[in-house]
A and B are shown apart, each in its own frame.
Chain A
Amino acid sequence: MFSRIRSISIKEFRQVSRDTRSLGILIFIPAFMLLMFGYAVNFDVDDIALAVYDEDNSVQSRQLIDKFVHSGYFDLKYYLDSPREIDRLLDRELIRVAIVIPENFSNSIIRGEDVSIQVLIDGANASAAATVMGYTNTIVQDYSLDILSETMLTAKGTTFAPPIDYHPRVWYNPELRSPVFLIPGLIAFILMVTSAVSTSLSIVREKELGTMEQLAVSSIHPVELIIGKIMPFVLTSLISTVFILLGGYLLFGVGVAGSFLWLSLLVVLFLFVALGWGLLISTTSDTQQVAFMKALTTTMLPTFILSGFVFPIHNMPVAVQVITYIVPARYFLEALRAIMVKGVGGAVFWEQIIALLIFGFILVLVSTRRMKKQGYVTV
């Protein structure tokens, strides 16, 4: 049994190492995605281009502007002379926020009257706009408190403290950086896509060439055949995972908080599911082209959109949330983030492990059934 599996794996390794195209895909795609998602896809909102139209031009108005600049989120790009320029700058996306401080700003503050400032935000990117609005709000509130406490000090000689002191602390990803969120997703994405594509292609190629038939008459057991064939891909996928983890750590400073043992177990389990999916696709396709398209479309979009990789599942409409339950990457990602970011162990994500096990067994079972029916293997 093991000698047969070994024979198949050796053969598969030789073929992959000679096929520069698929080798390129296996190596290039993970590297490309790591860089693309790490650098280009960034949900962090900082260096927000800001324009200010300060009609008041007073100490108070400058204090407020300083608060924006020193928050670290805003980048004061334009100091305007006329409010009309705001339209142009927003239209051309030269700025994302404009603040208009009215003429009576300082006078009203000194007199203790209410005063409004106008904040214009580019809402084209809704989630970024929401973040910007949050930042603006905090800064303005903060400044209001400063004024209040100063007034109290001069009037009553006591300092003012707000009734509720608010000190948020973000756990696990204190700096709220996107790579921390994205790298686990990237691992799920790459494992799913490359394993499903390469497994299905390697099996359908044998069908196309007629070599599958030759194997089928050789009394090889389907399990031996499948294990032998996927072994090389398991290995290359594991190597990719190591590279992504390494790249994530070196380039983006994303480490693994939890145990590497749990991480490896989880990755192997997920590979089992991804390869099972590739196997199933191979039993429904007769040409490599068809298999490639099927594998790509059925893994890429669901893993990208419905796994929680990029878009949080709890923000989705309920109907879509229901669909995410049949996306295996969802479970993997939940568990992987738990290990990498939170550093917890299997006790926390046993449900996800069971879900993945069920997926894997169903996929392998259905595909071996189908292979038998098609006469490629008999038992």
Chain B
Amino acid sequence: MNAITVKNLTRKFGDFTAVDNVSFDVKRGEIFGFLGANGAGKTTVIKMLCGLLTSTSGNATVAGYDINTQPESIKRTIGYMSQKFSLYEDLTVSENLNFFGGVYGLNERDLNDRIAWAVEMAGLTDKKGALTGSLPVGWKQRLALGCALLHRPQVVFLDEPTGGVDPVSRRRFWDLIFTLAEEGVTVFVTTHYLDEAEYCNTIMLIHAGKIVAGGSPRQLKTEHIRYPMLEVNCTGIIESLNILQQQDWVIESSVFGTLLHVSVENEEAGSRKIKEVLSEHNITVHGIERIVPSLEDVFIHLTDKP
């Protein structure tokens, strides 16, 4: 049973096609990661699925409702947390919760239950009376999630929920997402942190408005990078990269921190050739090791094609 089905969804802004013939399915209760660079079309897809934006063509259903004909029913069954922090900073934590609960049309008893739940979940019990603007970003994000969940939505859309949040708060936020998924809520999340993408059941990669790859993190890593990937530890990283990129036997190469990731056809031959060519240029190679490609490697591989 799918929580979301998208078929040939397209959205144009004038001549610019922001979302180009996109199709995918999201299973009920899964964490679905929607990945892509800024401007790839992630937010546009989310907005169409939430009924904030009409589609130019194509169709989609969310929780069984058609986005083109039943946007009101969709709104009652989804939660949405936008990219931009969108609570009222001049209201306190409990005033924000009260307000959104009221807007979602919760009755008073239900509202109090849910507010207590949200405050507990977000770890804001001591901060109920604090002005939202005075909270650290990570806390604000948890409060925003709480607000988006007050009406017990079946599907939650989180548009880059952890942007600008410190690593500890990010981890804490993801723990909340896991809990939601365990409770059967479908979580549709966009991110450009690739370590976060590893937490998702399914990932869909969007580039320039088109889906370029999809599957579980494992599938993506094994299906898309067919050649061995070597991690090279050497001096003069940039110079080495330039040298390696000129070699016709190097399939792909990129810098990862102080290391190089290099794809070659054959692990042993490749590693020998790398040592040779770098030594010729007086570069010391400290070590070469075969690695399992990370999602970042996959991402670069898929989106960096000429």
Binding site for B on A (CB under 8 A): 3-4, 6-8, 10-11, 14-15, 18-19, 209-211, 213-220, 375, 378-379
Q: A214-B80, A378-B71 are in contact. Are A19 and B102 (CB under 8 A)?
A: no
- Using a Cβ–Cβ cut-off of 8 Å, how many residues does chain B contribute to the interface with A? 33
Q: Are A219 and B98 in contact (CB under 8 A)?
A: no
Q: Which residues of B contact A219 (CB under 8 A)?
A: 72, 75-76, 104-105
Q: Which A residues touch B104, using CB under 8 A?
A: 218-219
B84 within 8 A of A: yes
Q: Is the CB of B52 within 8 A of A217?
A: yes
A378 to B53, CA, bound (A): 9
- Which residues of chain B have C-beta atoms less than 8 A from A15's C-beta? 88, 90-91
Q: How far is the CB of B142 from chain A (nearest CB, A)?
A: 16
Q: Cβ of B82 < 8 Å from any Cβ of A?
A: yes
Flag if A210 contacts B72 (CB, 8 Å). Answer: no
Judge if B192 is at the interface, Cβ distance under 8 Å: no
Nearest chain B CB to A217 CB, angstrom units = 4
**Is A7 in contact with B98, judged by CB distance below 8 angstroms?**
yes
In the complex the two chains form, is A7's CB within 8 Å of B99's CB?
A: yes
SS of A interface (majority): helix
B105 with A11: CB separation less than 8 A: no
Which A residues touch B105, using CB under 8 A?
A: 3-4, 219
Residues of B close to A19: CB separation below 8 A: 90
* Residue among B52, B71, B78, B107 with the highest chain A CB neighbour number at 10 A: B52
Q: Contact between A213 and B102 (Cβ–Cβ < 8 Å)?
A: no
Q: Do the beta carbons of B102 and A4 come within 8 Å of each other?
A: yes
Residues from chain A with Cβ under 8 Å of B269 in the complex: none
B82-126 residues at the A interface, CB under 8 angstroms: 82-91, 95, 98-105, 107
B103 touches A218 (CB 8 A): yes
Query: What is the CA–CA distance of A15 and B54 in the complex, to the nearest angstrom?
Result: 32
Inter-chain contact B90/A18, CB cutoff 8 Å: yes
A11-B91 in contact (CB<8A): yes
**Which residue of chain A has the shortest Cβ distance to B85 in the bound complex?**
A210
Q: Identify which of A3, A4, A6 gathers the most chain B CB atoms within 10 Å of its CB.
A: A3
17 further A-B contacts with Cβ under 8 Å, apart from A4-B102, A10-B98, are A7-B98, A11-B91, A14-B95, A210-B82, A210-B85, A211-B86, A213-B82, A213-B84, A213-B86, A214-B80, A215-B103, A216-B52, A217-B51, A217-B80, A375-B53, A375-B54, A378-B51
Compute how far the CA of A209 lies from the CA of B84 in the bound complex, rounded to whole angstroms.
8
B99 touches A10 (CB 8 A): yes
B52 touches A213 (CB 8 A): yes
With A6-B102, A18-B90, A19-B90 given, is the CB distance from A11 to B95 under 8 Å?
Answer: yes
* B 127-155 binary contact with A (CB < 8 Å = 1; else 0): 00000000000000000000100000000
Q: A8: which B residues are within 8 A, CB to CB?
A: 99, 102-103
The residue among B72, B85, B89, B90 with the most chain A CB atoms within 10 A of its own CB is B90
Q: Are A11 and B76 in contact (CB under 8 A)?
A: no
Q: Is the CB of A4 within 8 A of B90?
A: no
Tell me the bound Cα distance from A293 to B300 in angstroms: 47
> Measured between C-beta atoms, what is the minimum distance from A19 to chain B in Å?
7
Q: Which residues of A contact B72 (CB under 8 A)?
A: 219, 378-379
> Which residues of chain A are within 8 angstroms of B95 by Cβ–Cβ distance?
11, 14
The CA of A211 and the CA of B103, in the complex, are separated in Å by: 12
- Distance in angstroms from A373 CB to nearest chain B CB is 10
Residues of A within 8 A of B75 (CB): 217-219
- A10 CA to B111 CA, complexed, in Å: 16
- Is B19 interfacial (CB 8 A cutoff)? no
**In contact, A209 and B91 (Cβ under 8 angstroms):** no
Q: How far is the CB of A378 from chain B (nearest CB, A)?
A: 5
Q: Bound complex: CA of A19 vs CA of B87, how far in Å?
A: 16
Q: Known: A213-B86, A219-B75. Contact between A375 and B91, CB under 8 A? A: no
Q: Considering the complex, give the chain B residue whose CB is closest to the CB of A215.
A: B103
Q: How far is the CB of A63 from chain B (nearest CB, A)?
A: 73
Q: Does B47 contact A (CB under 8 A)?
A: yes
Residue of A nearest to B79 (CB): A217
Please judge, given known A-B contacts A14-B95, A217-B51, A375-B47, whether A211 and B90 are in contact too, CB under 8 Å. no
Contact yes or no, A214 B99, CB < 8 A: no
For A208, give the chain B residue with the smallest CB separation.
B84
CA A371 to CA B52, docked complex, whole Å = 11
Neighbouring A residues of B90 by C-beta, 8 Å: 14-15, 18-19
Nearest residue, chain B, Cβ from A228: B103
Contact of A210 among B76, B84, B100, B101 (CB under 8 A): B84
Q: Say yes or no: is B264 at the interface (Cβ < 8 Å to chain A).
A: no
Q: Could you say which of A8, A11, A18 has the most chain B C-beta atoms within 10 Å of its C-beta?
A: A11
Within 8 Å by CB of B102, from A3, A14, A18, A216, lies: A3
The CA-CA distance from A13 to B142 in the complex, in Å, is 25
Say whether A7 contacts B102, CB under 8 Å.
yes
B85 contact set on A, CB distance < 8 A: 210
